[in-house]
Amino acid sequence: MKLTIRVWRQKNEADKGRLAEYPIDGIEPDMSFLEMMDLLNEELIGKGEDPVAFDHDCREGICGMCSMAIDGVPHGPEKATTTCQLYMRHFKDGDTITVEPWRAAAFPVVKDLVVDRSAFDRIIQSGGYVSAPTGSAPEAGSTPIPHEDASKAFDAATCIGCGACVAACPNASAMLFTAAKVTHLGLMPQGQPERYQRVTAMVEQMDAEGFGGCTNTGVCHTVCPKGIPLETIGRMNGDILKALRP
């Protein structure tokens, strides 16, 4: 396959940045998108040029590091798919593909496609954990949990913190991410003692980081590679209202 890659190049946060165009040949349909980017970087290095910086780690759709918008869509055209699990067979020979970083004020560009997502870390640090001592792991089934609650908690816990929801949202809202982190603890017995303290602290930190407000466009759920349901936002809103009730 022969493709033209239009990729965002930016030296640092202060740099204005630009789209650079690179022709690339020899792409196999079974290559992942990141493997294609590796091939591009090998060619750039061979020419003595600076390779494109991009985040990656597990390349198995688990870690959430592969943050890039492909033709304007976070993680690309395939639903429920991370960039590292997107394969080149989903593109056509001769295509021009535009690759950009996440676009959000709370995610400043570090270099090229790499953005600083430490705002997510600070939201979790503000309360996304259970601090009360609960002892060693209990025997399976010793704490009865309704199946519906367990299923919803597991659904929320699949969030990998990639930031696609923020990048796709017209307001750069982090509501889906924050709600997922609040929900998977708030539905479990171990999370109840700090439930309302947790949601208050995490929402306040989310606002302090400069993320926008949620206006229920639903695009966050559409691009989420793990399909976190929108109802998690409603559940978090319910918890914050209860927490703030006099």
Residue ranges of domains in the chain: 3-110, 117-130+145-244
Could you list the beta-strand ranges (E) of 11-149.
18-24, 69-70, 73-74, 96-100, 109-111, 114-115
Q: Give, rounded to a whole angstrom, the gap between the first and last alpha carbons of the chain.
A: 63
Q: What is the pLDDT at residue 10?
A: 98
99, 68 in Cβ contact below 8 A? yes
Q: What is the CATH number of domain 117-130+145-244?
A: 1.10.1060.10
Give the β-pairing of 3-9 and 96-100: parallel
Under DSSP, is residue 9 helix (H, G, I), strand (E, B) or coil? strand
* Separation CA 149–CA 110 (nearest Å): 39
| Cβ(103)–Cβ(69) below 8 Å | yes
Closest CA to 118 of 128, 107, 127: 107
CB–CB of 137/76 below 8 Å? no
pLDDT of residue 131: 87
CA-to-CA distance for 210 and 232, rounded, in angstroms?
21
**What's the topology of domain 3-110?**
Ubiquitin-like (UB roll) (3.10.20)
With 0-12 / 13-18 / 19 or more C-beta atoms within 10 angstroms meaning exposed / middle / buried, residue 243 is middle
- What stretches of 109-174 show up as alpha helix (H) in DSSP? 118-125, 147-157, 164-168
How much is the pTM?
Answer: 0.94
Q: How far is CA 227 from the centre of its chain?
A: 11
Q: In a structure prediction context, what are the per-residue pLDDT tens digits for the chain, which is 246 residues long?
A: 999 999 999 999 999 999 999 999 999 999 999 999 999 999 999 999 999 999 999 999 999 999 999 999 999 999 999 999 999 999 999 999 999 999 999 999 999 999 999 999 999 999 998 887 777 877 877 888 899 999 999 999 999 999 999 999 999 999 999 999 999 999 998 899 999 999 999 999 999 999 999 999 999 999 999 999 999 999 999 999 999 987
- What pLDDT score does 21 carry? 98
